Amino acid sequence: MPRQTFSYIACPLPATDAFPNGQTVYRPLVVSRLTAENGKTFLCVSEIDSGADQCVFPTSFAIALGLDPLTMKQQITGGVGSTGNVTHYANLTIEIGNMTDVNGTMSFSSLLTFKAYVGFLAGLESQGIGLLGECGFFENYPVTLDHKNRVFHIG
Amino acid sequence: MAAVAINLSDILKGIPAGAWVAVEQYRVVAYGADMQQVLAEARKRGAREPLILKVPDRQETLFL
């Protein structure tokens, strides 16, 4: 697979006591197309996250894909600031790519595809994005994070 | 075919913090508090494959 290069996405954050002038963080975000085994699909945003053991998404994504958390296998997971997260699992095909413009029409252009057994948990609802973690993603692709130059490479 | 740098801050201007948003063809086609409703509304309005994302909640600044 040829190496694919993506740009970090600038995310401006509001002022806080610790950062009264606000701050801009740069995140390795990609557009992802999720496809369930039933064929249902949609586009979302995911973050490349080597700190995540698995690929995980908000529970609402499972429902949008026609999956029923009540019938899915589950386990308890934990993360920074949260424990006891009920996480439901399903097999997905995940495509990573760019939004491209062809003659003024914006569409998703898939650059790489992999299959993964992914988790869905309510704790990601507030962020509304997926995390592409070690199992399923990093185990299959070498990733280089070049934050200094605000790019990252996959493959 | 060129990758598009989508300026989300322009597209999402005026959308309430914490809202789910469906974006297609450089514009918001639906938004609201319920992700399923936003996706359904976007498809009802003819969006073929909208990008679903969420406007950051101003109370949650850093994602750790």
Nearest CB to A99 within list B6, B36, B62: B6
pLDDT in tens, chain A (155 residues): 789 999 998 888 888 899 999 888 999 999 999 999 999 999 999 999 999 999 999 999 999 999 999 999 999 998 877 788 899 999 999 999 988 888 888 889 999 999 999 999 999 998 999 999 999 999 999 999 999 999 999 99
Q: What share of chain A is helix, strand, coil (3-state, %, to 5)?
A: 15, 55, 30
Q: Closest partner residue to A106 among B25, B63, B64, by Cβ? A: B25
B30 band by pLDDT with thresholds 50, 70 and 90: very high
Dihedral pair phi/psi, residue A68, rounded to 5°: -115, 105
**B39 touches A at CB < 8 Å:** yes
> For residue A100, what pLDDT is reported?
84
Residues in chain A: 155
Number of other residues whose CB lies within 10 A of the CB of residue A80:
7
Indicate the Cα dihedral angle A89, A95, A99, A102, nearest 10°: -140
Longest distance between any two alpha carbons in chain B, whole Å: 38
Split at pLDDT 50, 70, 90, the class of B62 is low
Q: Which H/E stretch holds residue B37?
A: helix B35-44
CB proximity B4 to A under 8 Å: yes
Distance between CA A150 and CA A25 in Å, rounded?
A: 11
Record: contact B4-A129, CB cut-off 8 A: no
Q: B58: pLDDT confidence band, cut at 50, 70 and 90?
A: low
Nearest alpha-carbon partner for A131 in A50, A25, A64 = A50
pLDDT of residue B44: 97
CB-count exposure of residue A85 (10 Å: 0-12, 13-18, 19+): middle
